[in-house]
Amino acid sequence: MTDFYRFKQLGRETAFFYFILIFIAFPTLSYTQTKIYKWTDKDGVVHYSSKKPKGVETAKPAKLPKITKADIKVPSVVSTSCKHHGGIDCEAGADKDGSVICRDGYRDSLARFQFMCSSPKLLLDNISKLDETGSFSVTVRNKRGVKAEGVNVYYVYKDGKVLLKGPKEISSFGAAQFSFDPSSVENPHLNLKRKPSKGDIKITCLNC
């Protein structure tokens, strides 16, 4: 593990550390009436305890400064994605630790370059309702930073499948619409009476 990676991980863990600190500290703030006892043993060591020790007559309530929520400063949460940094820049290559680099140069994303920039990932985003002619459209979204090529979207039914009309490419993190027109299908038995489900749609691409 490189020093650079350790530094990067330290930045991500800082917010988590302060979260735990607040979780532990804030409940104790409600116990403002709890006494803290202080005493010094025979060796000169100073002790503190929330319970008065038995047999130690020198243990007295300690005068401690009051702590309020305003005394605890919490840094802003460290961003771990490229969502607010213009998206992932796959053309910039991988960072030194194997993570992605954002379009504005931000380098603290947790996303892995090998996963996000190796191949496109096409997902069905939406299916429209049927219109009066039985036509419908679907929206396909590319969830990764690689352009999808040779895209085909099919409506699959009992006797076969129909290729929907649409573009052959979907840009990185882009979306495209594909349409079904029953008048262009040479199958008299294909008569849609309901909105297709996600299981009726099949998406393929050459580099998926």
Q: How many domains does the chain have?
A: 3
Asked if residue 56 and residue 13 are part of one domain, the reply reads yes
Residue 157 near residue 146 (C-beta atoms within 8 A): no
Asked if residue 71 and residue 1 are part of one domain, the reply reads yes
Which domain-ending residue is among 21, 45, 76?
A: 76
- pLDDT tens string, the chain, 208 residues long: the values are 444 444 444 454 555 555 555 555 555 444 445 788 888 888 888 888 888 888 888 888 888 777 676 666 666 666 788 888 888 888 889 999 999 999 899 998 988 998 888 899 999 999 999 988 888 999 999 998 889 999 999 998 887 888 999 999 999 889 999 999 887 777 655 667 788 899 999 999 999 8
Q: Which domain covers residue 156, as residue numbers?
A: 119-204
Asked if residue 194 and residue 128 are part of one domain, the reply reads yes
Which domain-ending residue is among 95, 118, 141?
A: 118
Q: Please state, as a whole number, how many other Cβ atoms lie within 10 Å of the Cβ of residue 138.
A: 23
pTM (two decimals): 0.56
In the chain, which residue ranges form alpha helices assigned H by DSSP?
A: 3-29, 113-116
Which domain-ending residue is among 118, 141, 173?
A: 118
Asked if residue 70 and residue 11 are part of one domain, the reply reads yes
Asked if residue 125 and residue 108 are part of one domain, the reply reads no
